[in-house]
Structure 1
Amino acid sequence: MKVFNILLTVSFLLMNSPSIFAQELNVEELVRVGISYHDKGDYKKAIEVYSKALEADPNSNLVMFEMAFSHNALQEYKKTIKLCKKIIANPGENVVHTYVLYGNTLDQMGKPKKALKVYEEATKTSDNYLLFYNYGLTCYNTGDYDKAYGLFLKAIANNSAHPSSHLLLSKVMAKKNSRIKSMLPLYYFLMLEPNTERASIEYQNLRKLMDTGVSQSSPSNIDISISMNDMDSDFTAAEMMISLSNVTKNLEENKDKSDLELFAMRNKNIFNILGELKKDNKGFWWEFYVPVFYDLSTKGHVDSFSHYISLTADEEALEWIKENDEEFKKFSEWGSK
């Protein structure tokens, strides 16, 4: 996974940062022109424009960052790193985002160990969620899942509205064969980002996780297998109860329900079971994810939530939302609090 989508957003945010208004007008205009060229894919032209801007303000972190970003797009990694180092050595704006670009560039060069050192240095200077996320991403890609786990928790603690942090936490827990702890951040990710290409993929992953450990060899013979690890000792009862609750989809009384209706029913069972077990457990999972989804259930929003996160998979989801406009509005109001 890459962080270019984040960096593109960063470029826009930096362009509109209050610090820019202190720059000379001609520099500001040149930056805007350069960004326009970059967004059109004309990176060389963008760099030419940024060079003119640097002539007017040689110490502008903004101009150097945008130039480094364009050099990166051209795979001119050494030039990117040179500019990043200059920005970091020059106290001021944009240093956090420069660390992200610096680390990402090293990753692209096939130097993850050096990228890790950059992120480690960066997290000593700032607790910005992007630093923890990108540090965690590199750890994940190098197979250090324990380190990645802690970093994604820090990223979420600093910005719980960042979808990718939840998604990568889910992937870490999947690597650790921890089903429920993979499902919970995946639910959260889909609630934040329900209608994108990667959401479509992750929705299917969620559905697979829900069915893990449950198989039916005949109408009267349902097999349940549960794989637990030491990290999940507090979720043993939840795993067993959730696996047992999955059997309800095969009951005669549910045979006429649609797939999405069954999905919503199973979600409600999961959220209620976890909510009831919360009083006996503590820690991040029980104090962050579980209260959110238990509250979602007790407030009566599971149907809306389930259809909302199913938008990429089933046309029925959108139709349901249209037909249940008032109910969905209440869910939206709940989500905005």
Structure 2
Amino acid sequence: MKNLLLLLLALGLVPVALAQTRPAREVIEEGTNLFDAGKYDEAVARYQEVLAAEPGNVVALSELALTYNALDRHAEAADICKKLVKADPRVGPSVYVTYGNSLDGLKKPAEAVRVYEQGLKYFPNSYMLHFNAGVTQARAGQVPAGITSFQQAVARNPNHASSHVNLGLMQLGSEHRIPGLLALSRFLVLEPRSPRAVQRLPMLDKAMNLGVSRTGKNAISINISSAALAGANGKEGGPDNFGPAEMLLSISSAALLDSSLNKGVPPPTNAIERFVQQFSSLCKGLGELADNQKGFTWNYYVPYFVELEKKGFGPAFAYLAHSSQTDAPEVQQWLAAHPNEVAVFQEWSKNYEWPKDLK
């Protein structure tokens, strides 16, 4: 009987479905392992093996579309996802993510955003849909929309480092210094030692000292952009207005350049000590200004950093955020001498209850 079956298979006289001798789940898992190993063509072969026997296998189709994107076969990926979504709009958020990514790969950002928005109608709490929409909007130069998408992403997943860093970069790029500074700081709490941290940490340090410079032996200049003084919508008094906080941060930075302006506080001996004092001053100032403020940053980031300061975690945060500076001995020495302080801070941060109010 076995020999007869092999003969019929060779002649193509046995239905393909009978040729599938292994469970589909097992073959798909093999395909995903190959995908994770970067062996995309081999992964495609496994998914096609399943689909030859089960043409409607949603998991195999979804994984095949994802792999086609990795191979820059975006049109084929989009076609698969389009059919999956048409057959069942609730097929799953990952299919909408793959669909949008494929359209983005085809240089169709407007269509990609529409797909993400369509997916959010069915899966409003999918942080990945919000995040991917933000990435597409950022590439298209849609700054306010991109910022909103990244805000929605971090609100749904406070531990998604990529959403925090992209939000921070967009806000800094639009001259909203303090919102961008806080988002970037949160990123560095989550990912303090990664290659991305090495790349982005200098932007945080630059933002802390932005617009403050010594212009003479006894002269310090402070320059604050009009965008930084306005709210998120560009209007003074609107949501996420950090004008007063901008002034406080700039003044505290200036004081650190001139000890005569900062009486009673020992001058910093290096850049990291300067950062610790600046950040502490910023958090205290935000706490004093927080009453009756509105906007996403005030509601979401500010309470976290104000509480961080009140609990005495300022130094632990600052040195952890700078831990990617392997060429800064003062940073590495402090971290080596205070492992418990860092661990306690990280445990508090891990268990912090982020607000649900997304306004």
- Give the aligned partner of residue 136 of structure 2: 138
Show the counterpart of 2:254. Answer: 247
Check whether the contact 1:47–1:67 (CA below 8 A) recurs between aligned residues.
yes
Q: Equivalent pairs: percent with the same residue?
A: 31
Q: Give 1:118 shift.
A: 1.4
Q: Secondary structure at the match of 1:281?
A: coil
Equivalent position of 2:15 in the other structure: none
Indicate conservation of the 8 Å contact 2:316/2:341, yes or no: yes
* Contact 1:87–1:95 under 8 Å retained in 2: no
Superposed displacement of residue 287, structure 1: 1.8
CA distance in 1, matches of 2:36, 2:298: 43
Equivalent residue letter for 1:61? V
Please state whether the residue corresponding to 2:25 is helix, strand or coil.
helix
Paired residue for 1:77?
A: 74
CA RMSD of aligned residues (A): 2.1
Equivalent positions of 1:325-336 (< 5 A) are 325-336=339-350
Q: Is the 8 A contact 1:62 1:94 kept in 2?
A: no
- 1:274 correspondence with 2:271: no
Preserved CA contact (<8 Å) 2:222 2:254: no
Deviation at 1:256, TM superposition (A): 5.8
The answer to whether the 8 A contact 1:170-1:181 is kept is: yes
2:132 is the counterpart of 1:120: no
Q: Residue 214 of structure 2 contacts residue 257 of structure 2 at CA under 8 Å; is this kept in 1? A: no
* 1:319 lines up with 2:316 in the alignment: no
Q: Deviations over 1:296-319 (max 9, x none)?
A: 011000100001010112353333
Structure 1 length as normaliser, TM-score?
0.87
Offset, 1:95: 2.3
Letter in 1 for 2:220: I
Deviation at 1:153, TM superposition (A): 2.1
Measure the CA separation in 1 of the matches of 2:41 and 2:268.
60
Of the three residues 134, 151, 169, the one matched with 1:171 is 169
Residues 1:59 and 2:71 aligned together: no
> CA-to-partner distance for each residue in 1:104-125, whole Å, 9 max, x for gaps?
1111221212212212222222
Q: Which residue identity lines up with residue 95 of structure 1 in the other structure? A: G
- SS state at 2:226 partner: coil
Query: What amino acid does structure 1 have at the position aligned with 2:47?
Result: Y
Further displaced range: 300-309 or 160-169 = 160-169
1:217-296 aligned within 5 A? 217-229=215-227, 230-231=230-231, 233=236, 234-252=241-259, 254=266, 257-296=269-308
Could you tell me how far apart the structure 2 residues matched to 1:191 and 1:215 are? 28
- Local SS of the residue matching 1:217: strand
Name structure 2 gaps, 5 residues minimum: 1-20, 260-264, 352-359
Displacement after TM superposition at 1:39 (Å): 2.7
Match for residue 104 of structure 1? Answer: 101
| Stretches of 4+ aligned residues off by more than 6 angstroms | none
Please, which runs of 5 or more residues in structure 1 have no aligned partner?
1-23
